[in-house]
Amino acid sequence: MQTAIRKRGFVSLVGAGPGDPKLLSLRAKEALERADMVVYDALVHPAVLKYAPQAEHIYAGKKGGEADSTSQKSIELLLVKLARRGKRIVRLKGGDPFVFGRGGEEALWLSRRKIPFEVIPGITSGIAAPAYAGIPVTHRGLASEVTFLTAHEDPSKKRSDINWKALAQLKGTLVLFMGVKMLPQTVQLLIRYGKKPSTPVSVIRWGTTGEQKVVSGTLATMAQKVERAGLTAPALTIVGEVNRLRPQLNWFERKPLFGKTILITRSRKQASQLGEALEAEGARVLELPMIDITPIRDFHKLDQAASHIKKYDWLVFTSENGVEAFFNRLRHFKKDARMLSDTKIAAIGPGTKAKLNSYSIEPDLMPKTFTTEGLLKAFQKTKVKAKQFLLLRTNIAPDLLNKTLTHWGALVTEIPIYRTEKPKELPRRLHELMQHHPIDYITFMSSSTAEHFFEALRNGRHVPAKIISIGPVTSKTIRGFGARVHRQARIPSISGLVDAILKEELK
Tell me the per-residue pLDDT of 413-465, one tens digit each, with 9 for 90 and over: 999 999 988 888 888 888 888 888 899 999 999 899 999 999 888 755 578 89
Q: The domain 294-421: what is its CATH number?
A: 3.40.50.10090
Position 382, amino acid = T
pLDDT digit string (tens) for 249-264? 999 999 999 999 999 9
Residue of 316, 392, 309 whose CA lies nearest to 347: 316
Please give the class, per CATH, of domain 261-291+423-506: alpha beta
Domain parsing of the chain, residue ranges: 2-122, 127-254, 261-291+423-506, 294-421
Please compute the mean of the pLDDT values over residues 62-89 and round it to a whole number. 81
Task: Give, in order, the Cα–Cα distances in Å from 73 to each of 102, 105, 111.
Answer: 11, 10, 15
The pLDDT of residue 314: 97
Residues 6+ apart with CB under 8 A from 25: 15, 17, 120, 121, 122, 123
Please compute the mean of the pLDDT values over residues 60-86 and round it to a whole number. 79
Q: Binning pLDDT at 50, 70 and 90, where does residue 66 land? A: low
Measured distance CA(104)–CA(121) in Å, rounded: 12
Please compute the mean of the pLDDT values over residues 85-98 and round it to a whole number. 96
Measured distance CA(163)–CA(242) in Å, rounded: 22
pLDDT digit string (tens) for 286-336? 988 888 888 898 999 999 998 889 999 999 999 999 999 999 998 888 888
The pLDDT of residue 291: 84
178 is a catalytic site residue: yes
Q: The domain 2-122: what is its CATH number?
A: 3.40.1010.10
Specify whether the CB–CB gap between 433 and 256 falls below 8 A: no
Which of the residues 62, 213, 225, 344 is marked catalytic?
A: 62
Mapped onto helix, strand or coil, the DSSP state of residue 499 is: helix
Specify whether the CB–CB gap between 466 and 486 falls below 8 A: yes
Which of the residues 87, 96, 178, 260 is marked catalytic?
A: 178
The pLDDT of residue 5: 47
Check residue 385 and give left, alpha or beta (phi > 0: left; psi -120 to 50: alpha): beta
Q: Which helix (H) or strand (E) holds 205?
A: strand 200-205
Higher pLDDT residue, 369 or 167? 167
The pLDDT of residue 64: 54
Specify whether the CB–CB gap between 306 and 325 falls below 8 A: no
Cα 188 to its chain centre, rounded Å, is 40
Measured distance CA(470)–CA(485) in Å, rounded: 10
Q: Binning pLDDT at 50, 70 and 90, where does residue 1 land? A: very low
Residue of 318, 333, 330, 403 whose CA lies nearest to 360: 330
Comparing 2-122 with 294-421, is the CATH topology the same? no
Mapped onto helix, strand or coil, the DSSP state of residue 235 is: strand
342 is a catalytic site residue: no
Residues 6+ apart with CB under 8 A from 426: 288, 290, 452, 456
The pLDDT of residue 459: 59
Q: Binning pLDDT at 50, 70 and 90, where does residue 133 land? A: very high
- Domain 127-254 sits in CATH 1.10.3300.10: no
Q: What is the mean pLDDT of the chain?
A: 91
Which of the residues 20, 36, 41, 440 is marked catalytic?
A: 41
Strand-pair partners of 39: 58, 91
Measured distance CA(264)–CA(287) in Å, rounded: 5
Residue of 32, 64, 59 whose CA lies nearest to 48: 32
The pLDDT of residue 270: 63
434 is a catalytic site residue: no
pTM for the whole structure? 0.81
Task: Give, in order, the Cα–Cα distances in Å from 174 to each of 8, 122, 151.
Answer: 42, 20, 11
Q: Binning pLDDT at 50, 70 and 90, where does residue 199 land? A: very high
The pLDDT of residue 65: 46
C-alpha gyration radius of the chain: 28
pLDDT digit string (tens) for 329-373? 988 888 888 889 899 999 998 889 999 999 999 999 999 888 899
